Amino acid sequence: MGTVILLALTGLGLAALYFLVASGLSLVFGLADVLNFAHGLFLGVGAYGTWWAAGNLPGAGSDGFGFVLAVAFGVAAGTLVAILVELVLIRPLYSRTIEQVLVTVGLSLAGVALLQATWGADARTFPRPDWTRQVTGILGAQVPNGGLLLIVAAVLVLGAILAFLRWTRYGLVIRAGVENREMVTALGIDVRKAFTLVFAIGGAAAALAGALGGVYFGTVSPGQGGSLLIFAFIVVVIGGMGSVVGSAYAAVVVGLVQQFVNYYGTSGLGDICVVGLLAVVLLLRPQGIAGKVATA
Amino acid sequence: MTVIDAPRAQVPDELSPQRGRWHRVRPFLPLVALAVLAILPYSTISLPGIFEGPVNSPGTLQLLAICLIFGGLAAGYDLLFGRTGMLSFGHALYFAAGVYGTDILVTRAGLPLWQAALLTITGGTILAALLGAVALRTVGIAFAMVTLAFAQVGAILVARDFGGLTGGEEGLPLDVSGLPAGLVGVTNTVNLYWLALAYLTLVVFVVHRVSGSPTGRVLAGLRDDERRIGVLGLDPYRYKLVAFTLAGGLASAGGVVYVLIVGGASPHITSSELTLSLLVMVVLGGPGTRWGPVLGGVLYMYLDHRLTAFGTSDAVDNLPAVLSRPLSQPLFVLGTVFILAVYFFPGGITSLAPRLSHLTRSLRPPR
């Protein structure tokens, strides 16, 4: 029983990580039709930003309020990079989808290389607070606190994004834009502002994933974002493009399947099962599990 | 569902000013280039700055051979991307199938090379047909994701070393004892170079024959407007599957030659980064054009290798750290060049010639 609980909770921790990456990806995808290959870069910026701030920013550190400040700095850095990417690189290619995807491909190559040039290719130890290294006993399972932190953060982010989409004017524009961009544009609403906003939200969530992922894994490396990104893509497609709730469901399914199969089968088999799941979902329900594309 | 608006083919420069003599020579240029490339290993000239040693030194020949292989791979990938408008993110899988298939059959099973190569190419083609049959039920971005996911399975299988076949992270060096003597050893690099040249020629020939045939016209039609092909009573699915299978088979053939040149398989060739590189090559060269992908592939691989040497050279080391560190990363330079190319040269390298001729014409004083 303890093993099952432990596996379920670590699986949910992984799912939280996937959700944080996939939520922004899914909104960008639904609204702008852009498969953002540079999304892993935002994660890397968040992770390295937090890592840098913990060592260099006055007042920040690896514990208590200092760590919160470091994470805030990392998230701010990731958000800033995401906004810049949208304004400088994506916006001039408005409605030229394939070029937008190509630009993000180039950016993902160049950006990761830049991180590697600055901080080296090897993984660095992440300055995590002491309490995240400890474990909590839940129903007989010793669960690492880092994973629990991720789950809490992901639930909070999910709630915040949903509240934003449901109850604000821009949320309404984004929801409508995901549903039918041409119609919203025809009504005289500037969807491009919504693009920038969606990039900022996605960048912030991905940067948070980077910072908390550093806590979860204990290290940070330039390639981390890229390896998570592929599973985030899978989560987005399974969940239904543009649907944040769908991404949350899909992230849970993918995280749990991966964790349980990897434990009870061979290591690596879980990853393959996830791809199999993707193939099955696409063949049976090409629009993803959230049904109709695009709801909050 | 997203429908990818694929890059259109470049208008052939029939309107270019230099007709006349140049125009009559032009069709024979590829043959001249082939002849020059074929006799290149006999020359001992050294080009300082471009190559490290003389042209016929094994190091230079190996670099050239790798460049030629990737020229061929990019041309094969362009059959999907530039000519049919299919954005596949899993092309690395079929190349890796060629590399690992040959390596495993020769090193682990002890088959002679020709049998291993034949089995591998057949297997790679069948694999492409099977996976393509599933992936092609989706279109646009979803198709890109499915192919990416399938390729990821390949990468996982290789990295996790199931059954101890692939050597995991360390890769699998090729056992040369069973290979023909002419393909082994540093002194025989020239034969591998010719093999690579033959591969490139084969791919270019096949791709041109296909795109010139009625099937090629259907593929171009699929790229421009898939519904129109459906309305004409042709089955888009079947044509796309043919293109996908053919491109997969060509890629696995490239893998067979590549493993001989490099002398083993390493897991990085299974990564999605390789497919992204192929995409970069095609877009840099000019998608859907006759020579663009080949030029893009050769240039990309050359830069990738040379930039590493350039990055560690004194000229770069003496620069301030802010500049020298990014410049020592080939991918940083290539990624930046790629982004700039997407903005300023949408047609790639091959679109430069017509642009330049327009420019010179407009600069010339009117007569």
CA–CA distances in Å: residue A9 to residues A12, A44, A48, A139: 5, 25, 26, 11
What are the mean pLDDT values of chain A's consecutive 10-residue runs (296 residues total)?
84 91 87 84 91 80 78 92 90 82 89 85 78 75 81 91 88 84 84 87 91 85 82 86 86 91 83 85 72 45
A15 touches A148 (CB < 8 A): no
Query: Tokens for B35?
Result: 């002849």
Highest mean pLDDT among A63-67, B72-76, B232-236, B275-279: B72-76
- Confidence at residue A291, expressed as pLDDT on a 0 to 100 scale: 53
- pLDDT tens by residue, A129-178: 777 777 777 777 777 887 888 899 999 999 998 898 888 888 888 888 88
A248 touches A151 (CB < 8 A): no
Interface test with B, best of A95, A109, A233 (most B CBs within 10 A): A109
Query: Tokens for A253?
Result: 């399914």
Q: Which helix (H) or strand (E) holds B264?
A: strand B264-265
**Contacts of residue B367, Cβ cutoff 8 Å, sequence gap at least 6:** none
* C-alpha torsion B179→B180→B185→B186, nearest 10: -130
ipTM: 0.82
Residues on chain B touching A240 (C-beta within 8 angstroms): none
Residues on chain B touching A89 (C-beta within 8 angstroms): 339
Mean of the pLDDT values across residues B133-156? 84
- Confidence at residue A206, expressed as pLDDT on a 0 to 100 scale: 92
Could you tell me which residue, B24 or B201, shows the higher pLDDT? B201
Taking alpha carbons only, the member of B94, B132, B103, B128 closest to residue B253 is: B94
CA A184 – CA A220 distance, rounded (Å): 41
Given B137, B142, B330, which is nearest A237 (Cβ)? B142
Whether the per-residue pLDDT at B273 is higher than 90: the answer is: no
Mean of the pLDDT values across residues B233-253? 92
Residues on chain B touching A287 (C-beta within 8 angstroms): 1
CA B3 – CA A285 distance, rounded (Å): 18
- Confidence at residue A286, expressed as pLDDT on a 0 to 100 scale: 67
Q: Which helix (H) or strand (E) holds A135?
A: strand A135-138
Taking alpha carbons only, the member of A195, A206, A201 closest to residue A91 is: A195
CA A293 – CA B1 distance, rounded (Å): 9
Query: Tokens for B221?
Result: 């039609």
Q: What is the rounded radius of gyration, in angstroms, for the C-alpha atoms of chain B?
A: 21
B97 touches B254 (CB < 8 A): no
CA A269 – CA B127 distance, rounded (Å): 20
CA A281 – CA B79 distance, rounded (Å): 28
- Confidence at residue B317, expressed as pLDDT on a 0 to 100 scale: 67
Given B6, B160, B339, which is nearest A98 (Cβ)? B6
Find, in chain A, the residue whose alpha carbon is nearest to that of B136. A283
B10 touches B288 (CB < 8 A): yes
CA A94 – CA A31 distance, rounded (Å): 12
Q: State whether the Cα torsion A291-B141-B239-B231 is positive or negative.
A: positive
SS3 B311: helix
- Confidence at residue B22, expressed as pLDDT on a 0 to 100 scale: 66
Q: How many DSSP H helices and E strands does chain A contain?
A: 12, 4
Measure B144 CA to nearest chain A CA, in Å.
10
Tokens 């125009």 belong to residue: B23
Query: Tokens for A206?
Result: 């991905």
Q: What one-letter code names the amino acid at A201?
A: I
Q: Hey, which residues does A210 pair with through a beta bridge?
A: none
- pLDDT tens by residue, B299-353: 988 888 887 777 667 666 667 666 777 777 888 888 888 888 888 887 777 777 7
